[in-house]
Every structure is written in structure tokens, then in C-alpha cells.
Amino acid sequence: MGSTVRTSATRRPTAEAAGAERLAARIDTMSDVLQRAAEDMLPFGVLGAAAMIDLPGAERPVVIAAGSVDRAGGRELSGAELHPIGSQSRMFAAACVLSLAREGHFMLDDRISKYIPDIPTVDDHATIDHFINHTSGIGDFAASYDLLPFPMPTFSFDELMSLTKLQGRRFVAGSKYEYSNTDIVVLARLCEVVTGEPFENVLSARVLEPLGMTDTMVAAGQVLPSDRMAHGYFLPEGAAEDDLVDTASLADFSVAAAAGNIISSLPDMLTWSRAMLSPGNAIGLSHEDFTTNPVDAHTDFPHWYTQHVSARGVEGHTWGGRTFWGHRGGFYGYLSGTLFEPESGVAVSAFLTMVTRRGIVNLPNEPQTHTFQTFLQLCARAAVDMVELP
């Protein structure tokens, strides 16, 4: 009988197979660490927490989930739930603006007043790029929210500009950075002016449909799929504990307008991140289009909360020598964030649910915000370790 000749290829696993085995082992180890971290948040005012991590070479995203979909605790959080993404909406407004600029509808250094006259409390020389970079100096309408009763009425663009007037001009356009929700609302209006379409139509045609982001939508009065929602809550000032508002039951998020009225899911936000890391994607924009012309993001918030730089629709956080780009967001009862790191190719999206008790303007001071920021950073740094450790 003949004998089988065993070559080095049959005696040892291929380098590719060995690398896959090492990656799988690191994923198992890190997933256990991140799962414990998510569960450790639950005793500290967190109803549910979830994260999805996309890794080059992995068969599927890493999924972390702890807690329940609502206060009743009848169903465990899976991580696939829909949730408001708050200020992550800024990335999508920027994508629409950059897409329109690429087609020649306007130049980024055009004065915004050329297209939208009579914007209050901003210098006449303020450009589109000033608004997309949060260096316009315009006041933030959201700073007036604590003066208003809840639930708040539906706001038109003109009404939001009236609230903006209460805040006044903050500084000379282009002289410094300061986050303002008004910047994003004005950019969405710009998209409407040059296309003649509602912003949600512009967003769908230029971003959501080409990328196949079927879970992502503007909450503009339609009935939301409550059975798919993770539930966050808000306790209005002076209300009894029994008067909690279930934010998922509010169909209209116009209180945040284009600065925060989008609902999405972790899988969809990873789809967005993959597009940012892939220059040949369906919308023709990648992270380089967004991270051009960054500005220092020195603000009055504590250092643990503040991003290090801000660019066109994205913020940058430098952890462990790597800059992670993306955005975080907050809404009544929710915190969320999506980050991607171009060098390693990893992406992370996460959210948590809670009871917001002191108004949306005070979210940076909520203890859950510190907890979430720590969790998001842990997920981001663990993602790089999973793909790069030997």
C-alpha cells in the first residue's frame, strides 16, 4: 500500500488559518470583558446597553448587549433595536452638504447668507464651512429648551431661529469652535433650498437608499415601530416619578430637528462606518471628505467628555495613540455613539437607555454620560487590540 506524503502545508495550518484562529480567540476574550462592562453599568441608572463592533477579517460583528428593552424588563436587549441617535445626525447632514457641494450646487466657502438670508445672530461673512465645522458663532437654540414645557411643540425652522435669537451671537465666525445644534439645522435648510426637496428626501436619496440603511429614518410624525424600539425615558422638571415620558412613544422628534431627529440601529450605523472606511462606496464620500480641515475642540465641558478635534460633521477622539472619528449623540433617555478608526479599519457603534431627569442640555453632566463615554472608549480600544495584537 502506498503511503501519504505529508507536506509542510498539511502538517501545519496555513498562516491565514492561524491568524483567523488567533483573531477568534481574542474576540472571545475581549467579548467577555466588554459584556461584563455592559452588565456592570446596569446598577447605575442604565436600563440597557449594547454595542456592535466591526473587525476586518471577522465573519460577523461582535455583539454586546445587557439589560432590557424597557423599564418593565420583560424582554432582554439584543442590540438590534432601533433608537434615536441624537447628534450623530450631524454626520448625515454633513454627508448631504458634501454630496451637493461635490455636484456644484454651492461651494463650501460660499457665505451661507447667499442661500438663506436673515439667519439671526451670526456674522454675514459666515460660510457653509463655518457651519459644518461648528465655527459659525451662532447661538444654540437647544440652550433655550429648559425654558419650555414638556412635551414641547412641533418646531418649524423659523421658530427654531426665534429660539436661536435668545442665545445671541457667540463669537466672530471662524475665530473658534463651539458646538451648536443650530449649525446643523441651518445646513439641512440649505439642502432644502438648493434641491427644492424636504431634508428627509435629500437624506434618503443621497445616503440612506444608496447604502441600504433600511433601519434609518427621520422621526417626523409617522408611527414608529415601537415593537422594534429600545425605550428611553424622560422625567420633566417637577413631575412625579409616575409621570415618566416614554420617548419611543413620541412620533415627532422635531424638538431636535435635523440636529437629532434620526432613528437608526447598530447594524445600520456599522453600515455607515464601513462606507466611511471604503472610498469606493455607493455615496462617493469617505472619511477623508469629513476629516479635512479639523479644528481644536476646546470647550467648557470636562475633558473626559470633550472630543479632541472637530471636522466636517465628525468629531475625533484620540485614545491609545489612535484617532477615532465619528460622533456621539444624546436624546431624552438615550446616549449613543459611532466611531471608526481608519488605520486599523475597525468600527464601533453603541447605545444605552436611561431616564433623563435634568433636561437634554444637561446630558454631559449626567452620571450615565460618564459611564457611556468610558464604555465607548473601552469598546473602541478593544476593537483595535482584537485585530492588531500578535
Query: What is the torsional sign of CA 246, 257, 368, 47?
Result: positive
How do strand 245-246 and strand 233-234 relate by DSSP bridges? antiparallel
The answer to whether 203 touches 283, Cβ cutoff 8 Å, is: no
Q: What is the mean pLDDT of residues 260-269?
A: 96
Give per-residue pLDDT as tens, 90-131.
Answer: 999 999 999 999 999 999 999 999 999 989 999 999 999 999
Q: Would you give the DSSP letter of residue 302? A: -
Number of CB atoms found within 10 A of residue 100's CB: 18
**Domains assigned to the chain:** 17-388 (3.40.710.10)
Q: Are 383 and 53 in contact (CB under 8 A)?
A: yes
In percent, how much of the chain has pLDDT > 70? 90
Q: Distance of CA 320 to CAs 68, 83, 323, 380, 382, Å?
A: 32, 29, 8, 10, 10
Ranges assigned E (strand) in 201-282: 217-218, 233-234, 245-246, 262-264
pLDDT in tens, 22-73: 888 899 999 999 999 999 999 999 999 999 999 998 999 999 999 999 999 9
> In the β-sheet with 217-218, what is the strand arrangement from edge to edge?
83-84, 262-264, 217-218
CA–CA separation, 340 vs 289, rounded Å? 14
Burial label for 353, CB within 10 Å (0-12, 13-18, 19+), is: buried
Q: What is the pTM of this model?
A: 0.92
CA–CA dist 166, 374 (Å, integer): 34
Of residues 3 and 323, the one with the higher pLDDT is 323
